[in-house]
Amino acid sequence: MNQPEVIFVSVVILMDGPRMLVNLRPEGSYFGGWWEWPGGKQNPGEDAEQCARRELREEIGLQAGPLRLYHTATVEYPGRAVHLNFFVGRPLAGSTPRPDALEHRWLTAAQVRELRFLEPNLPVLQRLTEDPPALE
């Protein structure tokens, strides 16, 4: 039996006090209209943290200070598996979103729970509530 394709994805959870950055997936995209943390597929030759930083710049235009791997998970879908690396950190001082950034908001965990949020992110959202990361 063939092994499913494994796609490596990095996710950035930027924290600003009790609030975290979330963005809306564009309509017409896979899971368009759902909310998520910034992130995306890892490119060849790119490590997980490099991917996280690139995706944050591409989607929002922000830069992060130090990032720390907070959680990993593999989600199985028909014919493929997605390995998720969740990083936590703070925005770099003075970093601002691009004018054409994806729609995004800074929300508390309770506010994020009110959104249509991607399901594989929900256990991590729960962990953030129960075991908030110590950030530099």
Residue 136 domain-assigned (yes or no): no
Kindly give, in sequence order, each residue whose CB lies less than 8 Å from that of residue 17, ignoring residues fewer than 6 positions away. Answer: none
Kindly give, in sequence order, each residue whose CB lies less than 8 Å from that of residue 87, ignoring residues fewer than 6 positions away. Answer: 10, 11, 12, 13, 48, 49, 52, 64, 67, 68, 69, 70
Name the residue range of residue 71's domain: 5-130
The number of domains in the chain is 1
Residue 18 domain-assigned (yes or no): yes
Return the amino acid letter for 73. A
Percent of the chain surpassing pLDDT 90: 72
Residue 40 domain-assigned (yes or no): yes
Q: Which band of pLDDT confidence, cut at 50, 70 and 90, is reported for residue 1? A: low
Cβ(34)–Cβ(112) below 8 Å: no
CATH of the domain at 96: 3.90.79.10
CA 44 vs. chain centroid, Å, equals 19
Average pLDDT over residues 48-52: 98
d(CA 106, CA 126): 17
Task: For residue 39, give the nearest of 129, 118, 127 by alpha carbon.
Answer: 118
* Residue in this structure with the two tokens 């943390």, named with its chain if needed: 37
Average pLDDT over residues 99-117: 93
Higher pLDDT, 3 or 6: 6
Judge whether residue 4 has pLDDT over 80.
no
Give the HSE-up count for residue 92: Cα atoms under 13 Å, Cβ half-sphere. Answer: 13
Q: Which band of pLDDT confidence, cut at 50, 70 and 90, is reported for residue 37? A: very high
Residue 73 domain-assigned (yes or no): yes
